[in-house]
């Protein structure tokens, strides 16, 4: 974790605006790939349990995960076609990141971007735990 200090949120923000302007298609492919993984995980869980269908899939997205929540949910519904999860309900929640301010030393939970220290307003933040994407709950029947 020695290289963990960075300014990724600020860079990520600029990157995202560029993506929206010129690379929307590429982004959607990225989210579709993630969605296909989600469906594979859900189907595997259903098969292991001997279930016939997946009724619900709940995802947790870190604040810094490079996905659009709505796009990901849309891609999940697309990827679920003709699978055990075809009628599943998809939900996603954003999880906060942990921030440590390199200027004033404050520790804080960060729930929104752009990332700024709640103590001093600085951007010299070391961020952790905000990039994960997890399937947290799968409903089957
Ligand atoms: Zn600070």
pLDDT in tens, 90-99: 999 999 999 9
**pLDDT attached to residue 41:** 97
Average pLDDT of the chain to the nearest whole number: 85
Q: Is the pLDDT of residue 23 over 60?
A: no
Q: Is 75 annotated as a binding residue?
A: no
How does residue 131 score in pLDDT terms, banded at 50, 70 and 90?
A: confident
Determine the topology of domain 24-140 in CATH: hypothetical protein PF0899 fold (3.30.2320)
Q: 108 CA to middle of ligand 1, Å?
A: 9
Is pTM, for the whole model, over 0.95? no
Q: 68 CA to middle of ligand 1, Å?
A: 28
Q: Strand (E) positions, the chain?
A: 54-62, 89-95, 97-101, 107-110, 125-128, 133-140
Q: Is the pLDDT of residue 4 over 70?
A: no
Q: Is 30 annotated as a binding residue?
A: yes
Phi, psi (deg, nearest 5) at residue 121: 80, 5
Q: Is the pLDDT of residue 51 over 90?
A: yes
Q: 98 CA to middle of ligand 1, Å?
A: 13
Average pLDDT value for residue range 2-15 = 42
């Amino acid at each position: 974790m020695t290289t963990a200090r960075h300014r990724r949120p600020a860079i990520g923000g600029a990157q995202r605006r560029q993506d929206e302007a010129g690379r929307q298609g590429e982004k959607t492919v990225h989210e579709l790939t993630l969605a296909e993984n989600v469906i594979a995980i859900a189907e595997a869980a259903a098969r292991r349990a001997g279930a016939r269908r997946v009724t619900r899939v709940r995802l947790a997205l870190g604040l810094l995960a490079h996905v659009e929540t709505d796009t990901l949910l849309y891609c999940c519904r697309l990827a679920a076609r003709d699978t055990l999860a075809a009628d599943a309900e998809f939900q996603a929640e954003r999880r906060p990141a942990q921030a440590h301010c390199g200027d004033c030393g404050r520790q804080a939970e960060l729930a929104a971007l752009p990332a700024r220290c709640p103590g001093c307003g600085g951007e010299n933040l070391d961020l952790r735990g905000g990039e994960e994407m997890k399937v947290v709950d799968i409903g089957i029947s």
